[in-house]
Amino acid sequence: MRKLSPILLICLLFACGSDTEQTSNLNMLAAGKWNLSGVIIPTGDNAEMNLLESPICPECLKDDQIEIFSSGRYEISLGENTCENNTQIFKFEHIGTWKFTQSEDSIVLNPETPEPIMMSINNLNETELRLTYRDTIPQILFKNDSALYPITILYTH
């Protein structure tokens, strides 16, 4: 029986070990539809709340989804149950393009309208996507000003 050369053996070990390599950010993001599972908003005095657990608007957000494609496109769907007041996180279903920032710690969504949305990636793995962006909080949710607040959106598979 012939002996394998040390270089060939090392190459085979690396090839077989590829299953244990960490999945890339792009592959994790583009792994199908992400279901909205939480919207964390500040309520004042360093407190926050998960809007999905609030009686203010518990049902209308629960079927929202985002799908991010490796081609650089994304789609946000609001589902069948839409909000009748100003608590919808994304005001309308839309499609657009997206890209990572250079360090892949944020993504930029470029909807057809109005303007790009910079979202920091707080967590990304095969089952959870946690994004934070800054926006105004609608008056119905305790704020009556135009200040920008961090809003964290949780998605799961």
Identify which has the larger pLDDT, 148 or 32. 32
Residue % of the chain over a pLDDT of 70:
69
Residue-range definition of the domain harbouring residue 116: 27-156
Half-sphere exposure of 74 (CA within 13 A, CB side): 23
* pLDDT given for residue 124 in this prediction: 95
Q: Give a yes or no: residue 88 inside a domain.
A: yes
CB contact set of 2 (below 8 Å; sequence gap of 6+) = none
18 in a structural domain: no
Mean predicted confidence (pLDDT) in 65-94: 77
10 lies in some domain: no
> Is 1 part of any domain?
no
The answer to whether position 103 is within a domain reads: yes
62 lies in some domain:
yes
Q: What residues are paired with 133 via a beta bridge?
A: 151
Examine residue 34 and state whether it is found in any structural domain, yes or no: yes
Predicted local distance difference test score (pLDDT) of residue 54: 78
Q: Return the pLDDT at 89.
A: 56
Is residue 82 packed enough to be buried (19+ CB in 10 Å), middle (13-18) or exposed (0-12)? middle
Residue 90, in any domain of the structure: yes
Number of domains in the chain: 1
Task: Tell me what the pLDDT averaged over the chain comes to.
Answer: 77
Average confidence (pLDDT) over 34-50: 86
CATH assignment of the domain containing 112: 2.40.128
Tell me the pLDDT tens digit for each residue of 109-147: 998 777 888 999 999 999 999 999 988 776 555 556 678
Asked whether the beta carbons of 119 and 106 are under 8 A apart, the reply is yes
